[in-house]
Structure 1
C-alpha cells in the first residue's frame, strides 16, 4: 500500500531511523491474514526496496522477522523467502524504476540516489539472469 503522491517523503539521511519497519511488518501480517487470496503481494514492495539496497540488511531482517512473528502468510515461517517473492519483487522493481526515470527526463534533471536505486537493481537482475543463462522477463 502506498499513499503516493500524498504525504511527504522521508529524508534520505534519516529515513532508516524514521521508518518503523517492524510496526509496518506487523500491520502487513495482519492484513494478509484477513483475506490472503484477495490481496496482492503486498510484501513484494518492501522486498523490492531491500533488493535495491534501500533498507539496510539488519532493518530488512527485523521487518521480515516481525512479519513472520505476526503470522504473515506470504512467506514461510523459516527458510528461503525468495521463491514466493522473486517474480513480484522483480516486477515492482521495474514498475518503480521506470516512472522515476521518466519523471527525471520530464524535468530535464539527473536522477538522485533514491531514483537510481531501482533502475540499478533492474540492471543487477538482468545481469544475474544472464549469468544463469535465463532471459530477463
Structure 2
C-alpha cells in the first residue's frame, strides 16, 4: 500500500459514487461500493456500473490523456473511458470507466484465449493516429528487475543471480535501454487474461482494459506472456495453440502467418520471463517465504536462458 492509501480509498469511493449517480439532489443510493484493487500502482473501486481507477503516482497526465483518446477511438477493441481527461485526487490521476465482467479465475477451461488474440490482432493492425508514447512493456520489465536488485544481494541469492544474468543477456531495447526495433505498432503493453472484461456485463463482447502501458512498440511483446508461460511449461500446448492460431487467423502482424513464430517471440518471451521471475523473488523476499512451484519454474527458465545458447525452436530451452 502507498502511504496515502487510507485517505485515498474513501475519497476515491466518494468520487466513483458521485460519477455513478450524477443527478443533483438525488436520494442516497444503496448500491454499495466494492474495492477491486489496492496496490501501489493502482487503486480501483466499483460503484454500480461505474469504476474509478487511481493511477500510479508517477503517471504522466499528457501521456495518459493520449492513451484515453486511443481507447475512445477504438471501442470495438478497448473498453472506452467515461471521461476523456483524468481527474486529480490526492495527487493521483483518476479515470472513470464502465464496469465490465472479468475473466472467471475459477473456470480455466473458459479462458478467452481466442477473443484475447483476436482483439490483439485488431489493435496491432490499427494505424496509429497522432502522437503516442512508447509502449511501456520494456520499462516495466526494467522496473521489476531494478526492484529485485535493490531488494537482494545477487551474490548471496542464487535465484536472483540467475534472473539478473538472464536480464543482461537480453538486447538493449528489451531492457528499455534503446529504441524498439522495426515498424512500431499500436500495442497494449501488458497483456494477460486479467486485462479482458465483458461489456456490458455479464455476457457482452470481450474488450481489453488498462491503458496505462498502451503505446507504440514491438507487437510481439503483447504475445510474450502466454508465449513465456508455454515455454516454461505453465501453459498447456493446446491453449497456446488456440491463442496463436486465433491471432494468425485475425491477421495479427507480430508473427508470420505460418511457420515458426519463435524468431519473433523469443526476445519478448525471455524478457517477460525475467520480469515475472524478478517480481516473484521480490515478493517472496518481502514475505520471508520460499518460492512456490510456479515461481521456481520461472527462475529455472532464467537459469536455462543464461546457461545455454539461444534456441528459437520453442522460445528457450524447456
Per the shorter chain, which TM-score range?
0.7 to 0.9
After TM superposition, give the deviation of residue 62 of structure 1 in Å.
1.0
1:87-137 CA-to-partner distances (Å, cap 9, x unmatched) read 111111101111111101110112222222321221222233289xxxxxx
Q: Does residue 93 in structure 1 map to residue 273 in structure 2? A: yes
Q: Which has the higher strand share?
A: 2
CA distance in 2, matches of 1:28, 1:89: 16
Equivalent in the alignment of 1:135: none
Task: Please list every run of 5 or more consecutive structure 1 residues that lacks an aligned counterpart in the other structure.
Answer: 132-137
Deviates more, 1:109-118 or 1:63-72: 109-118
Equivalent in the alignment of 2:297: 117
Equivalent in the alignment of 1:134: none
- State the aligned residue count: 126
Contact kept? 2:103, 2:111, Cα under 8 Å: no
- Structure index of larger Rg: 2
CA distance in 2, matches of 1:28, 1:52: 22
Equivalent in the alignment of 1:31: 123
TM-score of the pair, normalised by structure 1? 0.77
CA distance in 1, matches of 2:303, 2:255: 25
CA-based RMSD: 2.8
CA distance in 2, matches of 1:26, 1:34: 13
Find the partner of 1:19 among 87, 111, 115.
111
Match runs of 1:62-81 below 5 Å: 62-81=242-261
- State the structure with bigger RCO (CA 8 A, min sep 6), 1 or 2: 1
Q: Which has the higher helix share?
A: 1
